[in-house]
Structure 1
Amino acid sequence: MLSVNRVTSVESGMVPIGRRRRLRYWFTIVRNKITTFNLFPDRVDDDENRIREQRYTSRLYVVLLCVSVLVLIIITSLSHQHNTRTIEFPTITIYKELQSRFSDELTCPCSHVSIPYGRFIELYPSFHQVCSSAFISKQWIAMVFPQSNMKIYEDFRVQATGQFQLLQNFCELAGQTVVRALQDFATSEFITANVISATVFDAQMRSTINTFQLKTPSAFISTLELIRRTTHGNAFMTVYASNWK
């Protein structure tokens, strides 16, 4: 009786039959494990439909878990690694260079959190030309006022004296209001924990100065409004009877 050799030669290039059977055997085992894979505990009262749903749910859970882990690995591998380096007391040149290269990651804490505005901002007010003219000087008022004791109130020289004196008081009140506002502005403090860019700093300073320019006239107008309401409420009459008919 002849026996057939089941293992072919290597020279023929064919896979041995025994290896094929082993591969099929392991493939069958893996397929059965996958088809019967169930994360839910077995119960006696579970029917076939319920078991099938549990298996589908278990497969979906495993697939989603693998996808989530894969996405997490990809994101982690693609993320940049940041190395923090500290430079003690950098100069303005070094800071500008680092700001141009690492604008989003750069942080530079300030040695002083607050600083008065008067340390780096100087404001020079300008008043109306009449407040620096000779029309509000004592010499002009004395020259306009008549030397004789005139009682003709309709005469311009009589009324003009009071009007120029009132104009002088308004100029003094405006100067005092602006001086107080400048003193308050100079002593108020600019607060920041970290160094900010030149663009942001300029924008904040423009906004602060614009707010100051709007608030200062409002304070002067409030004082004038108080004087006006006091005069109107008490029915005061001027010495020239110009507001009385």
Structure 2
Amino acid sequence: MTSTLMADDQSNLASRNIPLLFSSVYIDDSNGNRKYCVRDNPTELYTLALFQILKIDGISSVCNVVDITLDMSLTCWYEASCFEPFRLVLFSQFVRGPINILLLDPTQPIRFWPQSQSLRRVYNNMMIEIFNSSVSYEAFYETCHPLYCTFTYTEHAHIIVIITTLIGLFGGLNVILRLLSRFLVKLFFTCIATNSNATRSIAQSQNSRWTKYKEQLVMFNRFSDGSQEIHVIKRQRIFTRLYLLLILISFMVIIVYTAMEKNVVIKIVESPSQAQYNELLGQYSSTIQCPCTAVSMDLSQLVSVNAIYHQVCSSAFVETEWIYFLFNDINRNNYKRADIRVRGGAYFRFLSKLCALMNTTTQTLAQEFFADSFTSAKAISEDEFQSRMNVLQYQFQTSIELQLTHGLKIVRDITQANIFVSSYMLNCNRYYRILSTLQAVTSPVI
């Protein structure tokens, strides 16, 4: 089983030729479960006579620095009513000279409310209060720069087209229908031939205009050949009426078909502006195609990211001056392990490392993110562009969270797997046993 001590302790023991004898730093509870951490009390402040002076809210006396840091809240570092008595007591105990510390500002944007929430939740959210990002669709369209757009639409035939079609077909229909009408009438008369000696007469026309027009219509003979025979003239008039009927039916069919037919029209717009593209997209969204001249474009040209981190990472509480103020060249063996002068320096030093890890990880992954490319073979709508960028930004934030969680997990796994003895006496007692030889013995905190 591997354990460790601080370098100064090791050198001190070595100079006295004291072998190190470490016992397992765990105990078994009443249920037989092994416990490596059995203390969870508030951090306190004691006199040299070990009398308690002050309890400090938000920092517990758990067994390792990682747990201390992540399980603590920042309540006392926001409230003067908590922090000021603590600072005055430190002065009265002659720990260190006066130091000006600005408390955290509760009026600043606070995503993790209330302030009593553990720092673990803040760390799991990348210590980011506000994550601002903006994407530029204008930059995307300018980089895409389509040279042309094509789109299709359907339309019904115009009246002029219908008339032109009828005129064009009239010549052919005229010949066909004249032949057809002659054939049909001849066939009809062949089938129902009557007595050739029957007498026929043609009624005299009346003097009224209507009678005259009616007579002209009845007498109209499109197939007249000059014959004076009544049965021939009658047959020719039947030819004419059938011919006109067929012409009318043909025209109606052509008009209806041409009017109902939809024609597919292909249009090309060269070098469309963004405004033109948006207008065409609104009208022909299902068929418009605008190939990009630049298929791949850098994300750094399209998106900008600005994160506002938790203010503790820019406060005096992660600065060296404050850490040394709590814990520098004191003899920590003179204080109880729950005293902030024993654990406070480690707590804030680890907190500063978490902030540095967060900042370094974010910057590294941001460089990788901006070095990546956004690919689009054609111009897309602003809504689709925004949706795709939202996915990329979500993946970016998720990668930061995973990286930070992975880094912290490595620290925890190494610490717990090796059962390291805390040099701050957080998880073990250490004492010297005088037998035949001198030995440094550890036992778990109970």
TM-score range, shorter chain: 0.5 to 0.7
Compute the displacement of 1:15 (Å). 8.0
Are positions 1:180 and 2:355 aligned together?
no
1:5 and 1:158, CA in 2 relative to 1: closer, same or farther beyond 3 A? closer
Are positions 1:223 and 2:407 aligned together?
yes
Query: What is the aligned partner in structure 1 of residue 380 from structure 2?
Result: 196
Any idea what the Cα deviations from partners look like across 1:62-96, whole Å, max 9, x if unmatched? Answer: xxxxxxxxxxxx79x633322232x3322112212
Residue 80 of structure 1, aligned match among 260, 263, 266: 263
Are positions 1:139 and 2:321 aligned together?
yes
Residue 152 of structure 1, aligned match among 314, 334, 355: 334
Contact 1:144 1:160 in 2 (8 A): yes
1:133 and 1:6, CA in 2 relative to 1: closer, same or farther beyond 3 A? farther
Compute the displacement of 1:181 (Å). 1.5
1:78 and 1:158, CA in 2 relative to 1: closer, same or farther beyond 3 A? same
Q: Secondary structure at the match of 1:82?
A: strand
Any idea what the Cα deviations from partners look like across 1:196-236, whole Å, max 9, x if unmatched? Answer: 01111112222222232233212110111111111111121
Residue 127 of structure 1, aligned match among 294, 303, 309: 309
1:169 and 1:15, CA in 2 relative to 1: closer, same or farther beyond 3 A? farther
Which sections of structure 2, spanning at least 5 residues, go unmatched?
1-194, 204-217, 219-229, 236-256, 429-443
Contact 1:146 1:158 in 2 (8 A): no
Q: Select the structure that is richer in strand.
A: 2
Q: Which has the larger radius of gyration?
A: 2
Q: Secondary structure at the match of 2:410?
A: helix
Please give the root-mean-square deviation of Cα atoms over the aligned residues, in Å: 3.0
State how far apart, in whole Å, the 2-side matches of 1:10 and 1:121 are.
Answer: 97
Q: Select the structure that is richer in helix.
A: 1
The residue correspondences of 1:33-182 to structure 2 (distance < 5 A) are 78-85=261-268, 87-152=269-334, 154=337, 155-182=339-366
Identity %: 28
Compute the displacement of 1:6 (Å). 4.8
Name which structure has the greater RCO, CA cutoff 8 Å, separation 6+: 2
* Normalised TM-score (structure 1): 0.67
Number of aligned residue pairs: 188
1:7 and 1:118, CA in 2 relative to 1: closer, same or farther beyond 3 A? farther
State how far apart, in whole Å, the 1-side matches of 2:403 and 2:201 are.
Answer: 105
Compute the displacement of 1:242 (Å). 0.6
Compute the displacement of 1:146 (Å). 4.5
Q: Secondary structure at the match of 2:374?
A: strand
* Normalised TM-score (structure 2): 0.38
Q: Secondary structure at the match of 2:266?
A: coil
Which sections of structure 1, spanning at least 5 residues, go unmatched?
20-73
1:231 and 1:10, CA in 2 relative to 1: closer, same or farther beyond 3 A? farther
